[in-house]
Structure 1
Amino acid sequence: MSESKFDYSGLKRVVKIGMSYRGLFTAVVIVAILSAIVSTYRPYLMKDAIDQYILLKDLPGLFQFIFIIVAVLIFEVILQFFVIFLANKIAQRVIKYLRVRLFNHIIRFKLGYFDRTPNGVLVTRSVSDIETIAEIFNNGILTLMVDALRIIFMISIMYYMNWSLATIVILILPLMVVITNLFQKALKKVYQAERTLTAKLNTFVQERLTGINIVQLFNRQAAEFENFKVINKELRTAFLKTNVYFALLFPVVDVVSAVAIGLLLWFGGLRTALEGDVSVGEMIAFISYIGMLTQPMRQIADRFNAIQRGLIGADRVFKILDDDQTLPNKGNEFLNEVKGEIDFKDVQFSYIPDSPVLKGISFHSEPGQKIAIVGATGAGKSTIINLLSRFYDIDSGDILIDGKSIYSMELKNLRSHIAVVLQDVFLFNSTIYENIILGKTNISLEEVQKAAKDIGIHEFIMSLPKGYHSEVSERGGTLSVGQRQLISFLRAYVYNPQILVLDEATSSIDTESESLIQNATEKLTEGRTSIIIAHRLATIQNADQILVMDDGKIVERGTHSELLKQEGYYNNLYEVQFQTNE
């Protein structure tokens, strides 16, 4: 969004969403018009009370007229309540719509987007930036409309009462417009800096809390606290700049208002004394109108600033909504059953252009075979399973399942036939049972319990305080690595996939869980095609085929015994591990 121009396209887009709630929008417009008319009429009633009753000492008539004024005041208060209430209701519906749409949009993005975008930035966009959009309605266009109508009605009624006095009052309007415009431009830059620093602070806090074990392990508490204070100070400075501008704006408006009242008293007083064509009631009414006129002018500056703040948030949100980072899902083939035949044909892939990670990978797996992939860190092992699940798209070549390219298959259908058990198991802050079924409500608790018994982990789960209904903290922090791994095995098992991927699933387990995981692995891989990425060569000795990778290429392939006979890369790796274990 331009630094110097008002984002009319963004405002139009936000208002269009608000206007989709036609009943509410129409109601708030009608109430706003009535509120502007009633509030403008009040000083005129005061003029009549002074000129027709107070100066003439008509006390009975004055008391009756006071009841009319009180009734008008009560009606005005009721109308103002409904303006604020309805405006807030529209705002909350708009941000609910945008937040749901934004989250639904983000969770479909390809993994490459999350690799280069900090989670804290996305949290800021989804929460605080959307909250600022509410200000466009809460304290923005709808209340701005009321203020604008009041100004129009006040100018009209003042000219109806006395055109000469009205002209004096109107002279302050151009000056107020200039002041408002200057402050609006200055505040826009401050608000943009404020939103940027808010996202930066959110990202910093989110990363440090996620990696709190690293922070404490390397005694980084003091250093990270100092870094936090620096960012927090920058954010405080941005907020203080906003306050400084407002602290300047309001006194300037008050000075302009005082000058207008002084001119009115001087000119109106002379006309009253010399000509007698300006009444006392008119003078008091005009003084009230000056206060009422400068108040919305002051508020208009505030309204524009609220709109500006909301539009900066909207600009950030719409940029994500307009950015299509989803993987192309043009496949139209749906496979009800998959045998599990897998073919990689000369697959080349790079996360970063011109930096290939896989350099012509080709292999074939028969249905039900167990394929193991070994190699040094960074050889490209995990990349293979990311491509099989279509988390990323390849640069060239093809990947086939049962003779059909995965790019011809509908994406959700493809992934429904594949289950992945990762080394770093992610568990949500929910119950064991809910972490296993992951929202698949057609999997009953009884089915989960039967599956747990099949792979031998039912007793472990029942040993937890509430069994399958035990709460799991964020990322499964209350469970050991092995326990989290067992739950991920069960999660994969109940989904009954035709293709199973184990990514370093047994590389960091504790002794207590090792035998359980070995049994679960045997049960899980039985009768289904399995791709196992492992550091422990002892766990893959019975694999039907072992692929040895180095620098993005398959350098050796064969069974365990065949590879040992070659006395190459695999044999050296095996001997190193054997000697280490000894």
Structure 2
Amino acid sequence: MTNNPQDTLRNEDLPQNTLATLRRLLHRLGRQKRKLAVILISTLFSCAAYALLPLAVGRGIDALAQLIQTGVPAGEFWTAAVSALKIPVLMIAAAALTSSLFSYLQQFLIASVGEQLTLSFRQDISAKLNRLPLRYYDAHKTGEIMSRVTNDLEKVSAIMQEGLPQLIASLFTILFAVLVMIKLNLLLFGVVLVSLAVSMAATGYVSKLAQRAYGENLASMGALTGKLEELYAGNRVVKIFNLQAVLTAETEVQIERQFRAQRNAQFADFVIYPAIRALGQLGFIATAVIGGGLAFNGVITLGTVQAFVQYVNQIAEPVTETAYVITSLQAAIAGAERVFALLDEPEEIPDAGKGAEAITAGHVQFKHVRFGYRPGSTLIHDLNLEVRPNQQVAIVGPTGGGKTTLVNLLMRFYELNGGTIAIDGQSITTMGRQALRRRIGMVLQDTWLFAGTIAENIAYGKRDASRQEIEAAAKAACCDHFIRTLPQGYDTVLSGENPGISQGQMQLLTIARAMLTNPAILILDEATSSVDTRTEMEIQKAMARLMQDKTSFVIAHRLSTIQNADQILVVRDGDIVERGNHRELMALNGFYTALVNSQYAEG
């Protein structure tokens, strides 16, 4: 991977397939055809009215000049001037009012179109994220996904509400100004055209330099942000190893790099582009000088020269702004491209749509199951397993051996490469995923609580649960006592980022959440890893009572907690290498025995 800022800009801020992305974007915009038609017409009339202003002003100047040449007496001059300027002034007022009204209508509608486009994207992405398989989230960082939902969509929205209307208005303004100048005087138009070509060439060259400066600034800012996040997040570890001075020096290097990049970007904004605008004013000067000479010789009128000068100003700024808009448009198309890439991701295989009413006893069977996370790489080769109703099955083994994979397959988080998994005689592929998962309770090692009250968090899987049911589940999970010590008890509001309770207490709440749903099958994926030994023993007693009428799978790290399991599966490299109860496995003196002895040795 390269750290070159230019490479970063090319890969991230420039689209890889502009035409295809534009077609898809225009197709989505086509849902708002009427608004877009009104916007286009409004822009057309606004720019046309704006183009009439110099003509109206020029006509007024010619009228005054003619009045002066006729030698009107001083006493009658103001009356004659008012009469001569009446029509030009009305034309100016009408053109200005028309341009303003249509411009307002355009801005009002384009804001609606931009927000509606963003809303449609967000709705589709939200639905898409719910249909994506778990393997997608395993392969993509959360920050990357969030960036597509936020940053990339903001780029698209910004260009729709600001950049694109500006670009269209600039093109129409240039078009109308050019047509009028050609009609007024071809020679003066040639002068304007030469100056415009010079200005555009200089703008194109400078835009590339500025784009490079902006790209380096973005890359350096990203590197600095990542370094600071790393420094602050790992502050305790940094202090433990006394690396404050080293990391401070590394951070200062990033700060210096970002300072230079920001300075170059600011230079592009405050020096280069004003210089380009000054270059564009050369056309203004040339037009005034040559036009003045033509007016002096009677070839054209003074009002025509003044109109040309105004037209030069009208088209000079749009030409400069176009460079800004095109750069922003590229970034927006690249953002839309990444959003479309997310929307094109393969989804979960469609459900059969049937319910899971057949799950009553919890009889689970794995028959010749084969599975691999990546094509060509098989983790589970030929798994056969039968778990009878109400049995407690413990799954143990080394990290990465495939323990969690077994329960993920049972929950249909991943689809099998071969074989079948059946519950109470019915293949899980014939059941709807939602119906299946409602019959299976799962507690993960990683706790997750949302911003809300403790009661709401416990009732997350059963929204209509009564307070009595919530409290009963909390008591069974050994968390009722600490909940009642909180200021508002079950109505205490937890924050998603900083809940205000310990990690172990959070784990107890997630266990209570699973207990409340009263599932037919219970899965505990190292669910007690974050609690102390005494609390774990209490939970084990409570779980033993709750699991009397349930089939349960327990993934455990501390082997002492699963010695009473009906069946223990020792998983290694995706295969079950040993199975039996604790006594049978210890008698084998195999891999399970080695795991138990190693933990006692560590203890």
Q: CA deviation at 1:271?
A: 2.1
The 5 A counterparts of 1:405-420 are 405-420=427-442
Partner of 1:48: 59
Q: Which of 7, 20, 24 lines up with 2:18 in the alignment? A: 7
8 Å CA contact 1:347–1:360 kept in 2: the answer is yes
Match of 1:84 in 2: 107
Aligned with residue 269 of structure 1, among 292, 295, 310: 292
Pair 1:381-2:403 in alignment: yes
Q: Is the partner of 1:393 in helix, strand or coil?
A: coil
RMSD (CA atoms):
3.5
Partner SS, residue 474 of structure 1: coil
Residues 1:333 and 1:4: Cα distance change in structure 2 (over 3 Å)? closer
Among 394, 407, 428, the alignment partner of 1:372 is: 394
Equivalent residue number for residue 29 of structure 1: 40
Partner in structure 2 of residue 315 of structure 1: 337
- Residue identity matched to 1:96: L
Aligned 1:56-455 pairs, distance under 5 A: 56=67, 57=77, 58-61=80-83, 64=86, 66=89, 69-70=92-93, 72-179=95-202, 182=205, 247-258=271-282, 260-274=283-297, 276-324=298-346, 326-338=347-359, 339-353=361-375, 355-438=377-460, 441-455=463-477
Q: Is the 8 A contact 1:121 1:200 kept in 2?
A: no
Normalization by structure 2: what TM-score? 0.84
User: d(CA) in 1 for partners of 2:105 and 2:258?
Assistant: 35
Q: Give, in angstroms, the shift of residue 529 of structure 1.
A: 0.7
Aligned counterpart for 1:549 among listed residues 571, 575, 599:
571
- Pick closer, same or farther for the CA change 1:439–1:509 going to 2, 3 Å: closer
SS of corresponding position for 2:529:
coil
Residues 243 and 575 (structure 1), Cα distance of their counterparts in 2 relative to 1, 3 Å cut: closer
Q: Which moved more, 1:215-224 or 1:99-108?
A: 215-224
Q: Is the 8 A contact 2:476 2:512 kept in 1?
A: no
Distance 2:424 2:223 in 1: 47
CA-CA distance at 1:253 after TM superposition: 4.5
Question: Matches of 2:429 and 2:437 in 1, distance apart?
Answer: 12
**Cα gap change, 1:575 to 1:300, in 2 (>3 Å):** closer
The SS at the match of 2:390 is coil
What residue is the counterpart of 2:71 in the other structure?
none
Alignment CA distance shift 1:470-1:392 (3 Å): same
1:528 paired to 2:550: yes
1:483 and 1:513 in contact (8 A); partners too? no
CA distance in 2, matches of 1:382, 1:310: 40
Instruction: Give the direction of change, closer, same or farther, for the CA distance of 1:525–1:4 in structure 2 (3 Å limit).
Output: closer
Q: Is the 8 A contact 2:441 2:514 kept in 1?
A: yes
Q: Distance in 2 between matches of 1:462 and 1:571?
A: 42
Q: 2:449 aligns to what SS in structure 1?
A: coil
User: Can you list the C-alpha shifts for 1:520-542, whole angstroms capped at 9, x where unaligned?
Assistant: 32243231110011133332232
Matches of 1:211 and 1:426, distance apart in 2: 22
Secondary structure at the counterpart of residue 105 of structure 1 = helix
Note the C-alpha offset of 1:310: 0.9
Q: Tell me, what secondary structure is at the counterpart of 1:36? A: helix
Deviation, structure 1 residue 307: 1.1
Q: Secondary structure at the match of 1:21?
A: helix
Separation in structure 1 between the aligned mates of residue 536 and residue 416 of structure 2, nearest angstrom: 35
Three-state SS of the structure 2 residue aligned to 1:373 is: strand
Judged with a 3 Å threshold, the aligned counterparts in structure 2 of structure 1 residues 5 and 98 are, in CA distance, closer, same or farther, namely closer
How many pairs were matched up? 578
- Classify 1:205/1:244 alpha carbon distance in 2 versus 1 (closer, same or farther; 3 Å): same
Deviation of 1:133 after TM superposition, in Å, equals: 0.9
Judge conservation of contact 1:43–1:288 (CA < 8 Å) in 2.
Answer: yes
TM-aligned CA distance change 1:250 to 1:80, over 3 Å? farther
Specify whether residues 208 and 130 from structure 1 end up closer, same or farther in structure 2 by C-alpha distance, changes over 3 A only. Answer: farther
State the percentage of identical aligned residues.
31
Structure 2 distance, partners of 1:123, 1:231, is 25
Q: Distance in 1 between matches of 2:460 and 2:251?
A: 36
SS of the counterpart of 1:379? coil
CA distance in 2, matches of 1:477, 1:214: 23
- What do residues 477-515 of structure 1 show as CA deviations (whole Å, max 9, x unaligned)? 532232112111111112222111111122341256335
Cα distance in 1 between the residues matched to 2:97 and 2:352: 64
Change (3 A) 1:294 1:522: same
Per the alignment, in what secondary structure is the counterpart of residue 356 of structure 2? coil
Deviation (angstroms), 1:374: 1.9
Q: 1:483 aligns with which of 496, 505, 524?
A: 505
Q: Is the 8 A contact 2:15 2:334 kept in 1?
A: no
Please state how far the C-alpha of 1:5 moved relative to its aligned partner: 8.3
Unaligned runs of 5+ in 1: none
- Residue segments in structure 2 that go unaligned for 5+ positions in a row: 1-9, 68-76
Q: Structure 1 residue 456: deviation in Å?
A: 4.7
| Aligned 8 A contact 1:343 1:362 in 2 | yes
- Identify the range of structure 1 (368-377 vs 386-395) with the bigger mean alpha-carbon deviation: 386-395
* Equivalent-residue separation in structure 2 for 1:521 and 1:150 (angstroms): 75
Contact preservation (8 Å) 1:54, 1:62: no
- The 10-residue stretch of structure 1 (517-526 or 174-183) with the greater mean CA deviation from structure 2: 174-183
- Residues 39-67 of structure 1 show CA distances to partners (whole Å, capped at 9, x for unaligned) of 11111111122121366254433775546
Kept in 1, the 8 Å contact 2:199–2:279? The answer is no
Letter in 1 for 2:41: I
Tell me by how many angstroms 1:151 deviates.
1.6
